[in-house]
């Protein structure tokens, strides 16, 4: 028979009732760390996306500056030949 207090107890909280429950508690975390791990995973994914966006932006800036520099040298070379 289930006691009233046990019906509403969260898994993994409170003392285990018997040794079998204690053994299960060590192998299964009771599910209370799932949302925290999802939050950490979300932070990792967002951090990686931000990192790749920053790398892409840096690449575009450097490529644009290199293109402008190449055009300037090209103009300078054409003007010195004339």
Euclidean distance between CA atoms 82 and 73, whole angstroms: 15
Stronger pLDDT, 66 or 79, i.e. the higher one: 66
pLDDT at residue 1, as a whole number: 64
Specify whether the CB–CB gap between 24 and 11 falls below 8 A.
Answer: no
Exposure b/e, 14-31, CB count within 10 A at least 16 = b: eeeeeeeeeeeeeeeeee
pLDDT digits (tens, 9 = 90+) for 16-73: 556 555 555 554 555 556 667 788 999 999 999 999 999 999 999 999 999 999 999 9
pLDDT at residue 46, as a whole number: 97
Rg over CA atoms, the chain: 31
pLDDT at residue 61, as a whole number: 98
**Mean pLDDT along residues 1-18:** 62
CA 52 to chain CA centroid, Å, is: 12
């Amino acid at each position: 028979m289930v006691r009233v207090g046990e019906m509403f107890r969260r898994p993994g909280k409170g003392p285990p009732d018997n040794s079998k429950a204690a053994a299960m508690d060590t192998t299964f975390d009771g599910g209370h760390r799932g949302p925290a791990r999802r939050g950490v995973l979300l932070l990792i994914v967002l951090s990686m996306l931000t990192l790749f966006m920053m790398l892409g932006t840096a690449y575009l800036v450097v490529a644009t500056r290199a293109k402008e520099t190449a055009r300037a040298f090209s103009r300078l070379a054409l003007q010195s030949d004339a």
